[in-house]
Structure formats: structure tokens, C-alpha cells
Structure 1
Amino acid sequence: MPEPVVQSPRTVYDVFEGLTAATSNQEDITKSKNGTIKRMKCIPQGGNWQDLPDHLKTKSMKVKRNTQDNVYKRLKWDQPSCTIVNPRKCLLTHPEEHRILSVRKCARFYSQYQMILYFVAAANCKRNPCPDGKCRCSTSKRGYFIL
């Protein structure tokens, strides 16, 4: 039986390394509302919605069983990311900036380094990448760009 290959997990820093403003989809970021940004500012690296003061929690957050741990999750530079299900809905937050991750940064967590999907469709398709890189929107036109 062959020996298993064990690799240490990539940290958030490792995944983001080498990205610049010129990288495609790097500037494709959903603009959050003021109340959302106010909440993001209260969350430390590695924290989540549970770090919010009570007056900033939503009704569903006050009933803990209704809120997942990845909601308002702020990534930490020296740790791997949490599982990315939908970065916009869970408000997966940049380690230092008070915003959710760009489309490109999310794609990098899926190991799509050399290839990024380009969608001519609703913004929803582009911002909700799937781990296998396939858009589930039936109205989209898909293309691949080799970077």
C-alpha cells in the first residue's frame, strides 16, 4: 500500500500571496451595508458573530441555534480558512479589511490558481463559486481564462 501524502494546510496568507489589484476578479467585491460594516469592525481575526456586542446582534443571532459559526467569520492570516459555503451569505470577512472576500480570493481557496471562471451572467453566479468550478446557473455563459 502506498504511503499517504500529508501536506500541511495552506494558511490564508499563503492563499492570498501574490494577488494584486491587477489580478482578474480581485476587485469584484460586494459592497456591504453600513450596519454590516459596523458589525465587521467588532470582530477580531479568527472571530465570528459570537464576538458581537448584544446590541449589534440580529434577532436570529440572539437565538444561537439559528446562526451558523461561519456567519461573520473573520479569517486569520496564520490559519487555514473555514469551509466556504457561500461567502456573501455568511459574510466571510477579510482578515484586516471590513469587507467580504473578493471573487478571486474565494476561488483561490478552491485551488483555482491557474484558471479562473469568467461568467457572463448574473453577478450571483460569479460570486457563488462551487468547489468543482461549475456554475449552476442555467442562464450563464461560461468561459475559462488561463492566467
Structure 2
Amino acid sequence: MNANRDNDALSWGGENDPTLEQGTGALPDGWTVPRGAEPATAAPTRAGKTQTPEQADAAGSVVLVVLGILAGFYLLYTVGWFIGASRIENPLTGDPVSSFMFTLGVWLSVAAPLLWFAAAFWLTSGHPRARLVWLILGVIVLAPLPFIFGASA
């Protein structure tokens, strides 16, 4: 415990423990820090390309904003499909199996944008460019046409 209780929240219990190991600081194979650059001024890069932390942060910020915009599209598409699906009446009232399948298809169309977004995020976890391509493709493919054109059955 610190002598001043106000500083207790700013310390980590056991931070002065001599048994804690420090990392080796070694970089993975193929990664280097540019000569004469301090780690605080240049990030390690692959294949000799130098990138400052500001450049890396700017690219990450742009991708984050684009992902937010695409997530907004998917949320709006889900709402659009819900409104479009609520306008459709089931024309197959005689057969219970046909009626169930029609209802299932309508609700799967409502869930499709959320499922596409989740699948694109999960399946492209290590590939940010592929993630953006799949999300943009989903925005094109999953447009709620019944809502856009005002179609009703």
C-alpha cells in the first residue's frame, strides 16, 4: 500500500515484485526496426517498409470509421427488411408446412444482414481487406428491395 492513499488507485499490486519476468523484446522473423529510429518514433515493419505510429493510427482510424458506416448500413438494412417483411401477408394459408416455410423465409430475410455482418467479421478475422470487401459486397447484395420499392403481397 502506498503511503498516500490517494495514489493507491494508480498502482498495481505486486508491481515491484522481483520475480516478474520482462519480455525479451525480440521481434518475429522478418520484422525490423529501422536504423537510428527509436521504438517510440517508428513502428517495426515487414519487408523494410517504415511506418510511423501516426501513419498506422491514421490508417486504423479510417478503417474503424468505414466499419462503423458499414455497420450502420447493416442495421438500417435489418430495419428495412423488418418493415418490408411486416407488409407481406402470407398467401399460403391452407397448408401448415407451406405457411411455416413462408414465415421462416420472411424472418430469415430480416436476419440476413446481421448474419452476413457477423459471418464476415468472424470468417475474415485476420484479413482486414477481405473483411471490407465482403462487407461492401453484403451492402450491395442485401439491399431491402421490398422496403425500397414499397412492394407488398
Same fold (TM over 0.5): no
Bin the TM-score by the shorter chain.
Answer: under 0.3
TM-score by length of 1: 0.24
TM-score by length of 2: 0.23
Higher relative contact order (CA 8 A, sep 6+): 1
Structure of higher CA gyration radius = 2
